[in-house]
Amino acid sequence: MVRRKLTLRVDADVIKKAKNAGMNLSYFLEVKLVEYLTRKSVLDGSMLPSGFEPESTAREGAKKKLEIYLSIRELEGITTKWFKELKKWLYAYLEVVNWRMEQKATLEYLMTLKNKYSVETYRKRTHQIKRFLRYCNVDWADEIHVVKKPRRIPKRVTKDDLCQVLNKFKDHRLEKQLRAIVLLGATTGMRPLELYQLRPEDIDLERRIVYVNHNPVIGQTTKTGKSRVAIFNDEAKDALGEFLVYYNNGGNLKRLFCRTHLGKYFRQTPLRVKDLRKFFSQEWDRQGGPTSIKKLLMGHRKDVDLKHYNAQNEEDLREIYDKVGLMVNGILVR
């Protein structure tokens, strides 16, 4: 296919808006020109550029592939929120490249993402687009190299930090809920998403056990795809007990821990919900707790010992947990 250079005068504001939207303006104009000529029967099919197809055909084919791909991903058991995010990202990508997964347009779109978003957001979106292209058997997909995650020094989280947060929430209208999630997260090491997905029936208050379930059917997932138990201390038990009474008696809450409003309240403090898990890991080590048990409680099972040899039941875990004596605000578990 012979290509010729064409100079056009386009309104500067239009060009600016197109660039902000991440559009490949030259490619877009070419597509629209071919479509217009095709509709007017000026060109017949044999005169279309090699490998070129009308937008409606390209969109229909790509949309079918996307729908099947999203169905496959949904069956993996990903969360509803993550599924919606993934769908939004892939639709945005395909709209910008006019539903044609061509290399030049894709690379220009990814460069737009790189210049617009943080490294972490750019990484996530690029990785998901690459996965979709691989599914579609795009031969150049593997040439896209996702930038490595930047190495960060973990934030050090101490008892003083947690007490500062608890004091910040004192006399708050949802103090019981906020205190419960702080102490539960800090003494179990649960991931934020695992906390948000908790139901009252997952908590055995008397035995101080939380059942962290992987059951996508009811909207509960874990990062490892496996269920486990977590243990909490007497501080968390007292806070949870008070909160559950409030929750079950007209507290007007639909979930134990709702991500939306809790995230908003934590933004007013020096810590985030994800930092509660950091505290558990760091404080466990500061108290000399066995690393293998910490991994079991936090849901880390990648090493050979944990996969094939180390088996502990609920009572074993609670007994070891109590010996470590994990506490936040002064109540030692024995």
Residue 181 lies in a domain: yes
Q: What is the pLDDT of residue 49?
A: 53
Residues 168 and 130 in one domain: no
CA distance 140 to 101: 10
Using the Cα atoms of residue 167, residue 168, residue 170 and residue 175 in order, give the sign of their dihedral: negative
Which 3 state secondary structure label does DSSP give 277? helix
Residue 7 lies in a domain: no
Residues 285 and 318 in one domain: yes
CA distance 99 to 107: 14
Burial level of 197, CB count in 10 A (0-12/13-18/19+)? buried
CA distance 46 to 121: 43
Task: Please check whether residue 287 is in contact with residue 295, taking contact to mean a CB–CB distance below 8 angstroms.
Answer: no
Residue 2 lies in a domain: no
Residues 201 and 312 in one domain: yes
Strands of 228-231's sheet in order across: 203-204, 209-212, 228-231
Residue 193 lies in a domain: yes
Q: What is the pLDDT of residue 333?
A: 37
Residue 330 lies in a domain: no
Residue 320 lies in a domain: yes
Any residues with CB less than 8 A from the CB of 11 and at least 6 apart, and which? Answer: none
CA distance 191 to 32: 48
Residue 334 lies in a domain: no
Output the furthest CA–CA distance in the chain (Å, rounded).
86
Closest residue by Cα to residue 326 from 226, 187, 126: 187
Counting the structural domains of the chain, the total is 2
Identify the domain boundary among 143, 176, 203: 143
Q: What is the pLDDT of residue 221?
A: 86
Task: Please check whether residue 160 is in contact with residue 279, taking contact to mean a CB–CB distance below 8 angstroms.
Answer: no
**Domain containing residue 86:** 12-143
CATH number at residue 268: 1.10.443.10
Residue 5 lies in a domain: no
CA distance 95 to 81: 21
Residues 44 and 77 in one domain: yes
| E strand or H helix at 212 | strand 209-212
Residues 180 and 292 in one domain: yes
Token pair for residue 30?
Answer: 């070419």
Measured in degrees and rounded to the nearest 5, phi and psi for residue 239 equal: -65, -40
Mean pLDDT by 10 residues, the chain (334 residues): 72 80 75 66 48 63 92 83 91 91 92 91 94 94 85 88 94 95 96 95 96 88 90 96 93 89 92 96 95 92 76 92 88 38
Burial level of 217, CB count in 10 A (0-12/13-18/19+)? exposed
Residues 137 and 174 in one domain: no
Task: Please check whether residue 198 is in contact with residue 210, taking contact to mean a CB–CB distance below 8 angstroms.
Answer: yes
Residues 218 and 307 in one domain: yes
Would you give the distance in Å from CA 236 to the centre of its chain? Answer: 26
Residues 85 and 49 in one domain: yes
Residues 233 and 287 in one domain: yes
Does the reported pTM lie above 0.75?
A: no
Q: What is the pLDDT of residue 161?
A: 94
Residues 195 and 317 in one domain: yes
Which 3 state secondary structure label does DSSP give 242? helix
Identify the domain boundary among 85, 114, 143: 143
Residues 189 and 301 in one domain: yes
Residues 188 and 283 in one domain: yes
Residue type, 44: D
CA distance 143 to 327: 50
Identify the domain boundary among 143, 170, 188: 143
